[in-house]
């Protein structure tokens, strides 16, 4: 039985490995668009029914216009790089929700929400583009699907631990299960930080491709840091990199992002 579990895990790793375009990061994903997108679209529709869409015409129009420009840049990239089937699967939608929460998110398949609370952090259209690029990048890189795959892996890992320790004392089994539980929890946090950093980088590339100023992506996190005032958990126990880490990462990545945009035949100012 233990051998079967190990073979299943190894097989999934071998046959479900792919590469994130642009960043080149290797990922494992066993969740198809056909599995996740219908649920994603239904959840988004349900969310809009249960939450107040902003009546601020100017701000709402800005969110939709910026989202349209960035999604067109992403669509252009996908079609130019033989990702036509993936491009066709997206159902881009951008809505501003009247809520003071400082947040924005994107579900698999291109369903984006901005909260009015994040607009002061965005400060201007380029800032909106920085946040939009980041959120769209999560969908582009299939982070949602990858996290679901990781969740399946955790379940299989738990089974493997149970089988591997089945001949040991109860105290030993409890110890290994505790180690696995803590390790997997912190590991998942680090995994989320990997996604956040990747979305920061991809988002910067996409906003350049859409004609926005990438310097503003850095300034968004400067403003976020000022608002937070240092009230954040230790980075190794957080699902997100610290604001300071994001600022330094984006500063270092800016020349690469500019080069990537030029590589994909985009007119970079």
pLDDT along the chain (269 residues), means of 10: 43 64 87 86 95 98 98 95 94 98 94 97 98 97 83 45 44 42 50 90 97 97 86 65 94 96 69
| DSSP per residue, 152-182 | HHHHHHHHHHHHHTTTS-HHHHHHHHHHHHH
Question: Is 216 inside any structural domain?
Answer: yes
The pLDDT of residue 172? 45
Question: Is 61 inside any structural domain?
Answer: yes
Question: Is 242 inside any structural domain?
Answer: yes
Task: Indicate if the alpha-carbon torsion angle 98, 124, 250, 230 is positive or negative.
Answer: negative
The pLDDT of residue 47? 95
Predicted TM-score (pTM) above 0.85 = no
- Closest C-alpha to 62, from 126, 135, 8: 126
State how far the Cα of 255 lies from the Cα of 27, in Å rounded to an integer: 25
Question: Is 211 inside any structural domain?
Answer: yes
CB of 136 closer than 8 Å to CB of 130: no
- Closest C-alpha to 210, from 257, 250, 141: 257
Report the alpha-carbon angle 55-44-28, nearest 5: 135
User: Quick one: tokens of 159?
Assistant: 């089974």
Question: Is 167 inside any structural domain?
Answer: yes
Question: Is 80 inside any structural domain?
Answer: yes
CB of 213 closer than 8 Å to CB of 122: no
Phi–psi pair at 105, nearest 5 degrees: -155, 165
- How many domains is the chain built from? 1
The pLDDT of residue 239? 73
Question: Is 219 inside any structural domain?
Answer: yes
**Host domain of residue 82:** 2-263
Q: In the annotation, is 125 catalytic?
A: no
Instruction: Choose, from 86, 125, 135, 198, the residue flagged as catalytic.
Output: 135
128: left (phi over 0), alpha (psi -120 to 50) or beta: alpha
Question: Is 269 inside any structural domain?
Answer: no
The pLDDT of residue 157? 43
The pLDDT of residue 186? 52
């Amino acid at each position: 039985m233990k051998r079967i579990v190990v073979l299943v895990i190894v097989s999934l790793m071998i046959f479900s490995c792919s590469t994130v375009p642009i960043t080149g990061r290797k990922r494992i994903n066993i969740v198809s668009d056909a599995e996740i997108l219908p649920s994603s679209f239904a959840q988004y529709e349900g969310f809009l029914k249960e939450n107040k869409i902003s009546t601020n015409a100017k701000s709402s129009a800005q969110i939709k216009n910026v989202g349209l420009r960035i999604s067109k840049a992403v669509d252009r990239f996908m079609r130019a790089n033989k990702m036509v089937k993936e491009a066709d699967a997206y159902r881009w939608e951008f809505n501003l929700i009247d809520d003071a929460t400082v947040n924005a998110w994107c579900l698999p398949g291109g369903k984006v929400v901005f909260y009015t609370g994040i607009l002061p952090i965005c400060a201007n259209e380029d800032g909106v583009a920085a946040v939009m690029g980041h959120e769209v990048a999560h969908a582009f890189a299939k982070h949602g699907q990858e996290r679901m795959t990781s969740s399946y892996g955790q379940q299989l890992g738990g089974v493997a631990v149970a089988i591997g320790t089945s001949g040991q004392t109860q105290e030993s089994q409890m110890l290994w299960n505790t180690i696995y539980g803590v390790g997997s929890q912190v590991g998942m946090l680090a995994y989320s930080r990997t996604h956040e950093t990747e979305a920061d980088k991809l988002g910067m590339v996409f906003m350049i491709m859409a004609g926005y100023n990438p310097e503003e992506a850095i300034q968004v996190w400067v403003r976020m840091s000022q608002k937070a005032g240092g009230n954040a958990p230790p980075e190794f126990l957080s699902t997100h990199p610290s604001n300071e880490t994001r600022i330094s990462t984006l500063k270092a990545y800016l020349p690469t992002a500019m080069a990537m945009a030029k590589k994909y035949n985009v007119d970079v100012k």
